[in-house]
Amino acid sequence: MLDLSTALGIGAAVLLLSVFAVRVSVRLGLPSLLLYLGIGLLIGEAGLGIRFDNAALTQSLGIAALVLILAEGGLTTRWSAVKSSLGQGIALSTVAVVVSIAVTGAALHLLLGLDWRTALLWGAVLSSTDAAAVFSVLRGVGVSKRLVGALELESGLNDAPVFIAVVLLASPDPVSWTTPMLAGYELLDGAVVGLLVGWLGAMGLRRAALPATGLYPVATVAMCVLAYAVGDLMHASGLLATYVTGLVLGNSRLPHRSDTLSFAEGLGWLAQIGLFVLLGLYASPARLLSALIPALVAGAVLLLLARPLSVLLSMTPFRMKWREQVFLSWSGLRGAVPIVLALIPLTRGVPGAERLVDAVFVLVVVLTLVQGGTLPLVARWLGLVKPGDAQEIEVDSAPLDTLGAELLQVRVQPGSKLHGVYLSELRLPLGATISLIVRDEAGFTPSATTRLQEEDQLLVVATEKVRDAAERRLRAVDRAGRYARWKGESGKE
């Protein structure tokens, strides 16, 4: 046992190290979870010697962190950016999950000799993608909004059905014909709870006159956590209720919205860091080597068979191009969620659960290295990278919050038809303007006669009302040049 001062000192040092490790992960193009897991292993039993093997506590803290991560995901998701991908996101988080569980379970039953229930349990644990892992790699790749929206919705929605599947398969009760009806009820009820709590929360926060600005972000996140508790107490999906509540609140006109988003983002990072370090601390390196072969077999099944087949079957009704389907298949990164889910059968005494936890831990690391390291290359190889895409910057600024304005960052890529266009020829909508251009690492304030060049970085200030119109105009000129309107190019997806 450590005294309070020592524990706080170690915690602060680990947190600071993890925060600075984000820069390293961004430069390497890999999810930061690998570094956080490594830090946990470093201070664990094989490193500094801190022993932690409480599976029940790890599971509880893991689910609590997952609630905060889903709340942050919902709050920071822009509905206008993902609504066109709603059908794909729901299909990937339901139909694809069922297909992935069935295919993975059947393959592992044959290859590893697992009984059917255990094999399906492995398939369920491995079928959930991780938002933190996906978007730490996906950020800056430059694929279309439709693909990003589908992946974002999938990673936010699929935790709920997967959690239900794991709990049902880890239970000693037999699976009957009523099981799908029960799962459907929990998901539907969770969505209703999320919508109701989000609507009531938005209405209350708009009318409340809290004495301090900092209380609004706290109250907003508390509403998301409350949605989880209400959903869970009603035997509904608390995870889905959390995400839906965050989605409703994040797209409502709340007071001090930018402060709320910044607070939620920081809390999400804190939850991710704590969760990954905790899982690294819980892992036992001495047992991981024996789990290597089962993990590689499961990973090969998941990567080469289950994920592609689940994407193919779930995306067929949407007539998605094969290149986009390949990218979706390769983007199914696994993170901390499967490890947390694997602890559920362990705490319930399911035979062979410890082997599952070790295999999932190894598998997460292997798939993150394989998929995360090659995802940008795959996107370019498939021809899905869109040059000149406008990327929104998350801004924590009170004056912008008061003005109802947003910032966009645009990089003029090589070959873009923005090259050579005068600022006056952009004809951005009233309420949007280019306030800064960075060229050759030097920034300057442009004028109407300033001519854009390749590799320029533009800082665009736009009101919330014209933000989408400004981005569409930038996309249109990027594709068709200064005469985009005459050529019928509107900049839409």
- Report which of residues 390 and 110 the model is more confident about: 110
Q: Is a pLDDT exceeding 90 seen at residue 194?
A: yes
What is the domain partition of the chain in residue ranges? 52-381, 390-480
Q: Is a pLDDT exceeding 60 seen at residue 156?
A: yes
Concatenating the DSSP letter of every residue in 8-60 gives HHHHHHHHHHHHHHHHHHHHHTS-THHHHHHHHHHHSTTTT------HHHHHH
CA–CA distance, 369 with 30 (Å, rounded to integer): 7
Positive or negative torsion for Cα 212, 214, 220, 223? negative
Mean pLDDT for the chain overall: 83
Highest-pLDDT range among 15-29, 316-330, 402-416? 316-330
Confidence grade of residue 392 (pLDDT, cut at 50, 70, 90): very low
Q: With CA atoms as reference, report the closest residue to 431 among 465, 458, 402, 386.
A: 465
Q: Which fold has domain 52-381?
A: Na+/H+ antiporter like fold (1.20.1530)
Q: Is a pLDDT exceeding 60 seen at residue 297?
A: yes
Q: What pLDDT sits at residue 308?
A: 93
Confidence grade of residue 406 (pLDDT, cut at 50, 70, 90): confident
Q: With CA atoms as reference, report the closest residue to 475 among 372, 365, 403, 387.
A: 387
Residue count (the chain): 493
* Average pLDDT of the segment spanning 431-437: 91
**Pair 233, 159: CB distance under 8 Å:** no
CA–CA distance, 129 with 449 (Å, rounded to integer): 48
CA–CA distance, 312 with 146 (Å, rounded to integer): 16
Q: What pLDDT sits at residue 109?
A: 93
Q: What pLDDT sits at residue 136?
A: 60
Whole-model pTM: value is 0.78
- Token pair for 431: 């309420």
Tell me if residue 457 falls in helix, strand or coil. Answer: strand
Q: What pLDDT sits at residue 283?
A: 79
Q: Is a pLDDT exceeding 90 seen at residue 451?
A: yes
Q: What pLDDT sits at residue 200?
A: 93
Q: What pLDDT sits at residue 403?
A: 65
From first CA to last CA, the distance across the chain in angstroms is 57
**Pair 64, 249: CB distance under 8 Å:** no
| pLDDT tens track for 335-386 | 778 888 888 998 888 888 888 888 988 888 888 888 877 887 888 888 887 6
* Average pLDDT of the segment spanning 408-425: 87
Q: Is a pLDDT exceeding 60 seen at residue 1?
A: no
Quote the Cα angle for 225-83-238, to 5°: 20
Q: Where are the alpha helices (DSSP H) in 30-158?
A: 33-43, 55-75, 79-82, 86-93, 95-111, 116-126, 131-138, 145-157
CA–CA distance, 195 with 201 (Å, rounded to integer): 10
| pLDDT tens track for 228-268 | 999 999 988 889 999 999 999 988 877 777 778 888 888 88
* Average pLDDT of the segment spanning 132-136: 63
Q: Is a pLDDT exceeding 60 seen at residue 80?
A: yes
Q: What pLDDT sits at residue 393?
A: 42
Q: Is a pLDDT exceeding 50 seen at residue 398?
A: no
Q: What pLDDT sits at residue 210?
A: 76
Confidence grade of residue 133 (pLDDT, cut at 50, 70, 90): low
Q: Is a pLDDT exceeding 90 seen at residue 414?
A: no
Confidence grade of residue 125 (pLDDT, cut at 50, 70, 90): very high
* Average pLDDT of the segment spanning 28-57: 75
Q: Is a pLDDT exceeding 80 seen at residue 51?
A: no
Confidence grade of residue 29 (pLDDT, cut at 50, 70, 90): low
* Average pLDDT of the segment spanning 430-450: 90
Tell me if residue 127 falls in helix, strand or coil. Answer: coil
Pairing state between β 457-463 and 405-411: antiparallel
- Class in CATH terms, 390-480: alpha beta
Confidence grade of residue 394 (pLDDT, cut at 50, 70, 90): very low
Buried residues in 201-212 as b, exposed as e (16+ CB within 10 A): bbeebeeeeeee
Q: 173: part of which helix (H) or strand (E)? A: none
Query: What's the count of helices (H) and strands (E) in the chain, helices before strands?
Result: 24, 5
Amino acid at 189: D
Residue 458 forms beta bridges with which residues? 410, 437
CA–CA distance, 221 with 159 (Å, rounded to integer): 19
Q: With CA atoms as reference, report the closest residue to 326 among 260, 393, 397, 380.
A: 380
* Spatial CB neighbours of 296, under 8 Å, sequence gap ≥ 6: 362, 363, 366
**Pair 67, 244: CB distance under 8 Å:** no
Tell me if residue 206 falls in helix, strand or coil. Answer: helix
Q: With CA atoms as reference, report the closest residue to 242 among 252, 254, 227, 253.
A: 227
